Every structure is written in C-alpha cells, then in structure tokens.
Structure 1
Amino acid sequence: MQNVGWPNSISPGIGAFRIDVPSDWSAIEPTGGLIAFLAPPRDEFRVNLVVFGERVPADKELGELAEEALLGAGATDIVAIGVDGAETEDQLPSAARRTDIMLEGRMVRQLAVTTEGPDRSPTGVRSVYALVGSCLTERADVDEHVLTEMISSFTVTAEEPSVMQAQPAQR
C-alpha cells in the first residue's frame, strides 16, 4: 500500500497561474470558469475577462479550443489574431481569436486566447486555459488594450507535481 497525493505525475490536475489585473477591478467565481475579473461599470456594461481551465487531450488544437470558447457565446464570424504561437523558452504555445457579436442588444467584442501548461501527463493530457475578454465594440480602441495587457501577463506557475511511478492496473 502507498499513500498517493494529488496532483501527481500520473494525474497532474489543472496548474496554478498568475495574472495582472487593474486595481479597480473586482473578481468573482463564475459558473463554469476558474475566475472572472470585472471592470467598474461604464455605459451600463462591465468590461470583463473570464479564465477557464481544464485538462485536455494532446490532439485538441489550441486554435480550435479558442474558437469553441467564442462559439459558446454565439459567435459566427471568428478571426485569428496573428499567427498561432509556437512554444519558446519564454512563452507557452497559444492561439488568439476575436469576434464581434450582438449580446443583449449591444455589439460586444470578444477576445479568446488559449494557452497550455507544461504539465503533460504520460498520456499527453495537459492543462489548457482559455481567457475570454469582453468589451463594447464602440469602446474597443481603449478597452481592448487593457484586456490584451491582462491576457499578456497570464503566467502558468505550476510546479512539477510529485513523482509517482505508473503501475500496471491490478485486477
């Protein structure tokens, strides 16, 4: 018998992260997300950024996951922002998408950026984070910059989980 902690190398779980947020924003725990950040109300709207996270198989592309995050809000015209990034020493792989959609009678710009953690399990499953920011399209020239700064500051801080030797399944 051995005592097994979680997370571990067989099942690392979703990794920890850090993000820079403006000091006048608030945070809440959203349904289905890890955390959401809300700007003070302006023009009867709150610019927001929601961080989602889950363990995802290696065959799921980050661009596809970014598009799925926007499709969930009803987006149809999704465009890639730049080129999907490859992993470097300083930055994890990422994919960015943008759309403008009508929500509750207002045009809203949504940005979705997906990135993955360095915590692949032996089967290739890894932590993937989707950051979805929303601002009014009419104020995107100001608010999109704030969202981009926040998203750019997102850093996965998870340490390697404790090592556990994979054992064959016992019947």
Structure 2
Amino acid sequence: MLLDTPICDFGWKAPNFTLKNPHGDVFTMSEHLGDKGLLIMFICNHCPYVKAIAARLAEDTKLLMAEGINVLAVMSNDYHLVDADSPANMLRFAEQHGFTFPYLVDEDQQVGQQYGAVCTPDFFGFNALGELQYRGRLDDTRLQNDPNRIPELVNAMQLIAAIGKGPKQQTASMGCSIKWR
C-alpha cells in the first residue's frame, strides 16, 4: 500500500533506542546524535521505492557522513512475514547498494512505532538537541534517476547542521507501508 509521511512536527524530541545490526553489533541512538545532527531513516529491502532510490541514498548519506552528520537506518518490517527483509537479506542489500551507515533490525517493531514511521522510506532529520527538523523526501525525482535532481534531504540536513533548523517547506516522502505484525 502506497503511503505519504505526515508533515514535520518541528521540535518533536527523538526517543532514544538501542538496536542491533544483522551482525549483532549494538547501536544506541543517543550516542549518534552528533553536534551536526542525526538522520534516522526507516527503510527495507523489498520496497520498490527504496530499491529505486538506493544508489542515490548511498551517495547522499556518504556525503552527509563526510560532513559530520550521523546516519542510522532502521528496518521495522516484520521480516517473518516478508522474508526479503530478513537480517541476512539486509546484509546483502546493504552490500549490493554500498550502504556505509548502520542498518539496524527493529525486531519487536517498537522503534518504528515510537517514531510513528509510516512507510519506507521515511526520513527523520534531527538537530544536535534531538529535535525533529525534517520529515520530507530524498529528492524531487520520485522513482527516476535524474542528474538534475534537487537533493532535498541533503539540503535539509546541511541546513540543520549549520543552523539547527530545517526548511519550512518540505514535501512528504512516499513509499510502501511498514509491514506490522
């Protein structure tokens, strides 16, 4: 089912969480909330929207991380229902697309529920205080690869890193519904 994300609730405080990647390494959100902010993305492996943006997502997040903006990805789908989203497939998907950010398993779906994640991809851009400043889309191209695209997520996160505030105008992300138990 195709869904759009809600508009940004500016200032909403990010709940802390601790999740593991498929290798069992532990990541705590508060430890990644850097002085230039944090991007938390809800993605999965099987969604056609995530597949369509995966290369651009890898490129954009590498740029953000090189600029000192931290990035975490969370997979909240029920992978017992959708095997393509299993931890083993998460490793393959991340390697295939060159993801350099931690890709974490939300086994009990609690993090996705706490954040009000709606679809994949769903982007949450936080400032250094853990306040939500961006809940928009990756770029203006939808499913196409366009060399003249406007990298809205990168632009928003760079603004948040610089002044602690996100853009007032944001376009909702669109994607597949999260597969809840």
Q: TM-score, normalised by structure 2?
A: 0.25
Considering Cα pairs closer than 8 Å and 6+ residues apart, tell me whether 1 or 2 has the greater RCO.
Answer: 2
Q: Which has the larger radius of gyration?
A: 1
Could you say which structure has the higher strand fraction? 1
